[in-house]
Structure 1
């Protein structure tokens, strides 16, 4: 075994309703996620990325194939609590995750349910709120917070469970640009400073560009997997899947279509500006 915290092997999944099984949503996904990495999973609506996310802590179970979390088979019911302690989930709508009337009580909710001793809960709550920059709001009412602040409290609630991996399913979808930035900075900090494995499900190119590794999904399959600056160079391929690329890559690609010699791997604004400076110098 490699240093993988999550191993997905030939994963198939169909939702079953009154009519029986729906068409397959996941079609043979194979993926290995290294401990301590920051992986973005990108795809348009209906690509299977959220369904995949829900398999990573056994909210959904495979119709075929298997998912292993730190070596534990998600299909083994006796391991469910350990799996959910290992992988925490943050969803789109922070209002659906906030359960208490005071911020610190909300963050304490999951560790209390896990039977963590009170003194340890106090330490974890304080540390989690500091980690997301919300410690000074610990005695506030969550419903008075902004969307970005609520989502940071939701992330703190997951951090307080001390998971080794956090899966965030489109956590910025309902946020304004300020809230989005707050949440993304929080995620990056968690990964870099605390070594938490991060899996970010998104359809925003600029969010995907922040990760160490980018997995692109379409029609329930992985169609690209690599460093963002490598994957985003496949502009025509991504456009054929109905996806765009970051504005920096798009600009450089258009210039290349016009015969200008510019690199396609300049992802950040600074790198793009430097590439243009070199071109016109």
Structure 2
């Protein structure tokens, strides 16, 4: 698959309001392959959002390096190319909408890149289709639900022809319906278009959908592996202050009671099969 993001021995330090130096990232080593879906989880202050902002050069390392698509984020000449390659979607959908009509909002990025009008129209139509929002192209974004607004934000990234999508807690402000809409859109883009996904979340049920989970704690990577590897470590995750998917926790308690449930059971479906074979 090849490496798309490579973080080597990276630190990030900033000055607090009191003027003290705070180490938000402490010698991080992470690599993300082209076409991979990686979820990053951790409590507030663990460094997960700070790490994500290095992936499109919103932040640059204090020490070490972050290489994105072969380009070093420390080289200012590369910033524009990196931001075209890696699109960010943030927590609050209202902060990402710039136009009064959905299709104009999606066209905003390509217009700034100087893309030809006919090509912009084609990209907007394609992006709307990709996120299932064609019928809303002439709507005002502010009349949409939170989940729909996030899908418009994702469409804006797709119209820029970004080949990596970094989503920083994109469902934190949404209701369950909006959360389902956003996650299923992201999963479809990953499956059908092989887009590289970095998905930061505090909803463990969302992280289960990833190929790999990275667990952050106090600015370090404390664990990584497949969702089954990570979420079977119920005690360790609880010690880190994290939840685990309900099915993983229930399986853990059933095992404590002597019921034979495999440690790899972390989804509702797998638990049903294990309990009622």
TM-score where L is the length of structure 1: 0.96
- Measured in 1, the distance between the counterparts of 2:162 and 2:20 equals 33
Task: Give the match for residue 39 of structure 1.
Answer: 38
2:249 is equivalent to residue 238 of structure 1: no
> For the Cα contact (< 8 Å) 2:41–2:202, is it kept in 1?
yes
Deviation of the 1:268 alpha carbon = 2.2
- Measured in 2, the distance between the counterparts of 1:20 and 1:159 equals 40
TM-score where L is the length of structure 2: 0.98
- Measured in 1, the distance between the counterparts of 2:82 and 2:250 equals 43
Task: Give the match for residue 215 of structure 1.
Answer: 214
> For the Cα contact (< 8 Å) 2:232–2:266, is it kept in 1?
no
- Measured in 2, the distance between the counterparts of 1:159 and 1:275 equals 40
Task: Give the match for residue 263 of structure 2.
Answer: 264
Across the aligned residues of Structure 1 and Structure 2, the Cα RMSD in angstroms comes to 1.1
- Measured in 2, the distance between the counterparts of 1:16 and 1:232 equals 34
1:1-281 matched pairs, under 5 angstroms: 3-17=2-16, 19-20=18-19, 22-278=21-277
Which digits, 9 at most, give the CA deviation of each residue in 1:14-50, with x for residues without a partner? 1235654522010011000000010000111110000
> For the Cα contact (< 8 Å) 1:14–1:21, is it kept in 2?
no
Gaps of 5+ in 1: none
> CA, structure 1 residues 12+267, in 2 after alignment: closer, same or farther (shift >3 Å)?
same
> CA, structure 1 residues 232+243, in 2 after alignment: closer, same or farther (shift >3 Å)?
same
Aligned residue pairs, count: 277
- Measured in 2, the distance between the counterparts of 1:147 and 1:19 equals 36
- Measured in 2, the distance between the counterparts of 1:131 and 1:256 equals 42
